[in-house]
Structure formats: C-alpha cells, structure tokens
Amino acid sequence: QVQLIVSGGGLVKPGGSLRLSCAASGFTFTDYSLSWIRQAPGKGLEWLSHIGPSGNSIYNGDSVEGRFTISRDTAESTVYLQMNSLRVEDTAVYYCARGGSGSYYRRFEFWGQGTLVAVSS
C-alpha cells in the first residue's frame, strides 16, 4: 500500500533552517509528482511546493518562494523540503502528498501523516 512517512519537524528559532523528509513506498516513485502542504494551528490548508515525477518541474507558492526548496532523491524514494530563513508564521503541521495519475493527475491522492514545525525564540 502507498505510504508517505514524514520526518524532520521540530522546534527552531526564527531565522533558522530545517529539512523535512518524506519517504515514499508502495508505488513507483518516478511515476508521480509530490507536493508539500502545510496547516497552521487551527487554520486551513496551504500548498507550498510541487516537484514533478522526474524532478524537472518545480513550482512554489508565493509564501515560500526563495526560502524553501523542494527536491527528490530517486535512489532513496524520498522528497525533501529544505526550509531556510524560518519565520514564526511558518509554524504549522507539514504534510507531503502524492499526485494522482491519468487525466486528473492534479490532485493529492495520498497524504503523509504530517510533522510539526514550530518556529519560536
């Protein structure tokens, strides 16, 4: 079965950095896009960043452009989110999600369990 195991969250000071990992299994890693999505406490969902199946298609949301970098390692079947210059407002649960297939591939078909990132001094 499809699994997305998210790790790397924790407490970090403003201006600090953190790298999140999302280890994928149960599907052919190179066939699917992956995204990072976050949810601030008590708030809605915010899409952050997308990487295509081969890693050559990347796009980011405005709130993280220039600070967060998505990447993927095919050998490890893992997608990463490098987060730099963290702000208090980046405090959230961070999810990774896998895209769909076929004509309706622009959907988030499977989600990881999420990891909490807390930015505080």
Partner 1 sequence: EIILTQSPGTLSLSPGERATVSCRASQSVSTKFLAWYQQKPGQAPRLLIYGASNRATGIPHRFIGSGSGTDFTLTISRLEPEDFAVYYCQQFTDSPPGFIFGPGTRLDV
- List interacting residues with partner 1 (CB under 8 A): 35, 44-47, 50, 59-61, 95, 100, 103-104, 106-114
DSSP string covering 9-21, please?
Answer: -EEE-TT--EEEE
| Nearest distance from C-beta of residue 70 to partner 1, angstroms | 13
Looking at the Cβ atoms of 21 and 35, the one nearer to partner 1 is 35
| Nearest distance from C-beta of residue 76 to partner 1, angstroms | 22
Instruction: Determine the distance from the C-alpha atom of residue 95 to the mean position of all C-alpha atoms in its chain, rounded to a whole number.
Output: 6
Looking at the Cβ atoms of 61 and 77, the one nearer to partner 1 is 61
| Nearest distance from C-beta of residue 59 to partner 1, angstroms | 5
Looking at the Cβ atoms of 21 and 60, the one nearer to partner 1 is 60
Q: Which residues contact 14 (CB under 8 A, 6 or more apart)?
A: 86, 87, 88, 119, 120, 121
Specify the DSSP class assigned to residue 55: S
The CA distance from 46 to 49, in Å, is 10
